[in-house]
Structure 1
């Protein structure tokens, strides 16, 4: 039996409305988190972003996990510097001393927090020996940057001997260890044990933690990012936060921001990054809210790979606190820390 054309149109409109309602995200809730325990981490462009966030907001960020990322302000706002910053030019590593000088200049203008705060930060850095996207000479410069910026050697861990490709490492999900391929999540063994990168970096930042949950008691909460960032920033409509049951029940939880890499937003890899990287299992038993902000590929601004801005596509202030993406994520963190 054929449906009347008007009924068919009405049915399609209703279906579209229901789909939009199902996908629409609410405002990011408040959870009254612990303002003294915020940290960040990321892979690739997300690692560059984690470095930027740690340096810009060093007064309120206790540590960072940097997986295959270069030093702060490496590209100096110029995409043509990206190949050097990714270690792709043989024998020409990023100049960490210049980056520290730039950061000190921003700090002197109060555009970022004082570099002296980094003396108490705890920094985990990882570079796989098989990474052919961001080579080790670039990540070596990240380590040098943090040392020159004042992070004590006792607060800096550099893992650079795992035969991993360009990926975030999980105990069991994703590609084989040496792959440099989507979804840029791989599984590796270190010392005959499955390597759990989320646990490694969270425990380095926070110290000993309870073992990860075997099954999750919390929930993924999608939220609208438009309250914090216009589409002109390149940020997606929707972000995600993992909320352990304890945080839902009023415990003052830590906040950890996990920045995905290029081609790794939910629009490309679904829930792979925000559900399968093992952050949530550690968060569940250790009272940690995990924020997963999202950036999508776009033409305006020109960001075809869906990367976080570490080279200036959102404007020249991308690496300081007035930068649109840094401002947006910091406001999201502020919301999580505020009273409901």
Structure 2
């Protein structure tokens, strides 16, 4: 019992170092989400740490809706899914790799869920684009467990060239071009963003959308030199309207999230009425507080990439509840055993948010 307690405490310690931020930003009253002019054939996802788990869970559950997913610094779909202790012992470095979770169990789960019609047909994954980024110095997620994200998807893909795995000499973080400490340093005090002279946001979206558009890199492109940062509008939106029972404790979702609408996706500037791309990014543990989330969002690189390439980007937020005090996305059953399926409480909320933007939900 002492070792189990030790693991849980370590999870709390490593994820709580980013909560205290002296930067306070005024947040305008949340808007009600509405339909936007976005492409339905190129909706993409990404996530960091627990957000990576959420991204792959949503991707597998509703694969007919998506074009691809980018996964940063986390183990594979449903690794150690029954409790945080199981994940800690079998999917993280805290367990010392004594009894690692076999990704083939997760493949079995996916096939079982498909048979039960709890997820979309797995054949939808055949042509999807998958981007996996790993820090080989990651303090929490073993390299081999993160690498098995690719193995999981290789089971269902028709072309392995659609899967890209990138390994950096980096800690547990989301890589940026210029924010935070060096890539090989602890990123906990910088909302788990690291200065790797490399934009994970651009690399991910360029790979996911390269068959749809020429994705500009705003961090090196001369085409962007005269465009100021964040020309678009970053707005809070009311997330609680999507709750099944408006119960924060059940869903562990915050009352608001953020949406970024690039200038050229706004009707008054989009004269040609050309549809934009839609991307959804999921934060990591203890990035749930709106002020912390804003620091993550503004420095992650996603906004500049969105501006340069007309990508409307949504940042849903969790919250902390008694069963999840670190505000992680559910990757260990705290909202129920079907968390990684269409019946998952958080998945249902985010799917409704996407449907509203696509015009499928009034």
Matches of 1:136 and 1:80, distance apart in 2? 19
* Aligned pair partner of 1:265 in 285, 288, 298: 288
Residues 283 and 293 in structure 2, CA contact (< 8 A), matched pair in contact too: no
Q: Which residue of 2 aligns with 1:327?
A: 348
Residues 91 and 142 in structure 2, CA contact (< 8 A), matched pair in contact too: no
Bigger Rg, which one: 1
- What TM-score, normalized by structure 1, do the two folds share? 0.87
Matches of 1:239 and 1:110, distance apart in 2? 29
Q: Which residue of 2 aligns with 1:304?
A: 325
Residues 28 and 235 in structure 2, CA contact (< 8 A), matched pair in contact too: no
Matches of 1:122 and 1:131, distance apart in 2? 24
The Cα offsets for residues 51-95 of structure 1, whole Å up to 9 and x where unpaired, read as 111111111111111001111122233333211223543344331
Matches of 1:268 and 1:22, distance apart in 2? 9
Larger displacement relative to structure 2 (91-100 or 104-113): 91-100
Q: Which residue of 2 aligns with 1:13?
A: none
Q: How many residues align?
A: 312
- What TM-score, normalized by structure 2, do the two folds share? 0.82
Q: Which residue of 2 aligns with 1:90?
A: 96
The Cα offsets for residues 157-192 of structure 1, whole Å up to 9 and x where unpaired, read as 1112x111111111101222123323111111xxxx
Unaligned 5+ segments in structure 2 are: 1-25, 219-223, 268-272
Unaligned 5+ segments in structure 1 are: 1-20, 189-193
Residues 41 and 65 in structure 1, CA contact (< 8 A), matched pair in contact too: yes
Larger displacement relative to structure 2 (329-338 or 266-275): 266-275
Matches of 1:333 and 1:309, distance apart in 2? 19
Q: Post-superposition shift, 1:22?
A: 6.5
Residues 106 and 320 in structure 1, CA contact (< 8 A), matched pair in contact too: yes
Once superposed, what is the RMSD of the aligned Cα atoms? 1.9
Q: Post-superposition shift, 1:100?
A: 0.6
Residues 265 and 273 in structure 1, CA contact (< 8 A), matched pair in contact too: no
Matches of 1:32 and 1:111, distance apart in 2? 29
